[in-house]
Structure 1
């Protein structure tokens, strides 16, 4: 079952891979619609999956990828339709002349079209001229017909996109709700320690910085299992980012207020799913300082991944999560089909209005997250 869902996820990623290459906008939009249909099928199968959390996580990511591809496909469609329309408008006079010539040729009876006032010689010359001109006229007419058909196809796609988007948004909302329930029902995760709530409350109330809180994390646990976590240093620079988004600020880059932090800031879409990039222990989850909801993960001894700015967090302190496990959702609200279509019509994607802050701490010192996470150079 999980293997089948993974295959469907690969299908859903196909439109995104196409987006990196020159591709027909209509083809991209249709592929994205099929990706959303595949995600809907996966959602119906997830209830019977042995590992329901994993199945729903894959399904939710498939929906997110499909919707992202749909947004991008619609943007491409809108831009292509605008360019074609502008081109046709700029050539109105040329098109009118072409249509006039074609209509004149088509309206004249064949014998009359072959006669010339200057007699047989003129008729022969006119015939040779017509033989030279006709293919060019036919080519221009065919080119015009192709462009008009493409405009018609693109407009039809835009008109039918609202229903596709509505179904996709309904599906992603149901997948989130089902995932939240499946996570609440999950009881089979191993635990490395038990959190002392009193000590945690004291640490939160007495700390003023993220550094101070992180340094006190190991003092708020009870019955911690002995033994070290596996070393993942061989994966430096290769870990996937925990959420679909783009790098807004890199480590030590100043924001609009002139504040620089040692972590990176990712711009994400509302309600985006956040997952752990590798197997890790939950060291802390919940509100902290002015960071909103925070998830602190420990993938290996002495290494902490701090994810700050989530709206919803999943799990319990001390649990050991498999790689790719959901740890929370970003805030905000999904844009409706009308908003997505309107923004696509303006040639823009829907806004990545939420931000996730990622800080990496190793041996209680900050490390540039780019050392561990795979980030595109152009980002």
Structure 2
């Protein structure tokens, strides 16, 4: 039996839709390659105090610890053994050259920061594509229901069609009504078919864009893996080169640990550590004593040139001159400004950044490590003496890779964040699911508003 034109069009349209849906992959159900994250850590309660190292215990062997850390990093890598060996050979060729090692560390840290930014951007774009896909699928689901209703009407007409005029002229009215109905339905079906075709094309384009973004994401994760391995290898090589710690550094570390065990507040800890500087760290004390109010103003070019010297063993420029040039310690979103309510009845003396899991943390400025390790419920903290009576505090880290007494250059890796917020003092309204880095600057142990101290992307690049 011959099919009516309306039925033929409907069946053809239905077949096209079914074919389109059956061959199109479901992007929303595909898996995205992402690095494994460490299990969440339990943040200490408000009334709990995190343990600090026992001042009576001797420090662990740094070289052995760094080699163990390096082995753990290697085990977690998906890089080929050939590439791992190439990286080790590249670093071994530096043969203890601290200038080259410092330059390589800072360059690797910069590449990590750029890769982290790109990963965050790609993840945002992927989220947008998922939203677009769901919107298109919603429209297609609605089109299915409308087309089903129209096809049902056409099916009823085909089961009981009006007779042709040449057979029964008396039924001309019914034939005319059917013709009018078909004439009204067919253009609507054609428009709907065009809309469905456009949505199917858009869905295909979304899938292609998502696959491109996933490839970019995997490439950036590969960069992160390689640079993290390079950093771990460089740190291990540097500590191997240092060899046995000097008696002065041993004493400095023991005193810092003892001071941290006794201090009941950050202010008290910074006071104690700063007082220790003049008697223990000659270079740091000299940097503080070299404040000259009549010194000539340095040009931006002179500042950049001084900061580019990776052989330096003391701050490239006086800290006050470095305003506008400091490196932001980590990539993240500022969720708590200086002077804002800290949520515990006080005001924030620093800023808080929500970072991605296991984000890298770098030195915001040149300086000596006054303290590193756990303190109260701040998680792992690092306090830098940056000269001229200034200190920089970073809190909320998960791991720290520098040592007390060590001089670090701006942009050099200091450690990494964890997989969630550590410590109630750095918990923000972002919740405990995201790691939060607390950053504080002090001058003569008084909080300083860090606004305006950070370099622009063009300066820090």
Work out which of the residue numbers 51, 57, 69 in structure 1 matches 2:121.
Answer: 69
Q: How far is 1:256 from its partner?
A: 4.4
CA distance in 2, matches of 1:83, 1:374: 40
1:284 to 371, 394, 406: 371
Residue 141 of structure 2 is matched in structure 1 by: 89
Contact 2:326–2:410 (8 Å) recurs in 1: no
Q: Is the 8 A contact 2:136 2:199 kept in 1?
A: yes
Provide the rounded CA distance (Å) in 2 between the counterparts of 1:144 and 1:93: 12
2:443 matched to which residue of 1?
A: 362
Q: CA deviation at 1:74?
A: 1.1
Show the counterpart of 2:282: 224
Q: TM-score, normalised on structure 2?
A: 0.52
Matched ranges for 1:149-164 at <5 A: 149-155=201-207
1:274-353 to structure 2, matched below 5 A, reads 274-332=361-419, 353=434
In the TM superposition, 1:28-43 aligns within 5 A as none
Number of the residue aligned with 1:104: none
Cα distance change, pair 97–71 in 1 and its aligned pair in 2 (3 A): same
Query: Retained in 1: the 8 A contact 2:323–2:454?
Result: yes
Instruction: Assess, with a 3 A threshold, how the Cα gap between structure 1 residues 79 and 374 changes in structure 2: closer, same or farther.
Output: farther
Residue 198 of structure 1: aligned partner: 254
| Aligned equivalent of 1:268 | 355
Report deviation, 1:314: 1.8
RMSD: 4.8
Equivalents in 2 of 1:298, 1:95: separation in Å?
72
Name the SS of the counterpart of 2:382 in structure 1: strand
* Cα pair 1:46 1:55 within 8 Å, conserved: no
Shift of 1:155: 3.7
Q: Aligned in 2, Cα 1:234/1:259: closer, same or farther, shift over 3 Å?
A: same
Q: Return the structure number with greater relative CO, CA threshold 8 A, min gap 6.
A: 2
Deviations 1:4-36 (A, max 9, x none): xxxxxxxxxxxxxxxxxxxxxx9xxxxx99xxx
Gaps of 5+ in 2: 1-26, 28-32, 35-78, 92-99, 153-182, 291-314, 421-431
More strand by share: 1
Pairwise CA distance, 1:177: 4.0
Task: Report SS of the residue matched to 1:309.
Answer: strand
Query: What are the Cα deviations for residues 53-103 of structure 1, in whole angstroms up to 9, with x where unaligned?
Result: 234323433432332122112101101111222233344567779999xxx
Name the residue aligned to 2:268: 212
Q: Distance in 2 between matches of 1:239 and 1:352?
A: 28
Tell me the CA shift for residue 301 of structure 1.
1.6
Distance 1:253 1:219 in 2: 30
Partner SS, residue 439 of structure 2: strand
Q: How far off its partner does 1:203 sit?
A: 1.5
Q: Residues 374 and 87 of structure 1: is their aligned pair in 2 closer, same or farther, counting only changes over 3 Å? A: farther
Q: 1:183 aligns with which of 213, 230, 235?
A: 235
Measured at CA, do residues 366 and 256 of structure 1 come closer, stay the same or move farther in structure 2, by a change above 3 Å? closer
Does the CA contact (< 8 Å) of 1:267 and 1:352 recur in 2? no
Aligned pair count? Answer: 302
Question: Which of 1 and 2 has greater Rg?
Answer: 2
In structure 2, do the counterparts of structure 1 residues 46 and 258 end up closer, same or farther at CA, with 3 Å as the change threshold?
Answer: farther
| TM-score calculated relative to the size of structure 1 | 0.62
Structure 1: tracts of 5 or more residues without a match: 1-25, 27-31, 34-39, 101-129, 334-350
* Per-residue CA distance 1:132-189 (angstroms, 9 max, x = gap): x99x998976664343122123246657877876675566345434422311222689
Displacement after TM superposition at 1:357 (Å)? 1.0
Aligned partner of residue 125 in structure 2, secondary structure: helix
| CA-CA distance at 1:370 after TM superposition | 2.2
Give the 3-state SS of the residue equivalent to 1:80 in structure 2. Answer: helix
Secondary structure of the residue aligned to 1:147 is: helix
Match of 1:239 in 2: 326
* The 10-residue stretch of structure 1 (72-81 or 296-305) with the greater mean CA deviation from structure 2: 296-305
Q: How does 1:138-153 map to 2 (within 5 A)?
A: 144-153=196-205
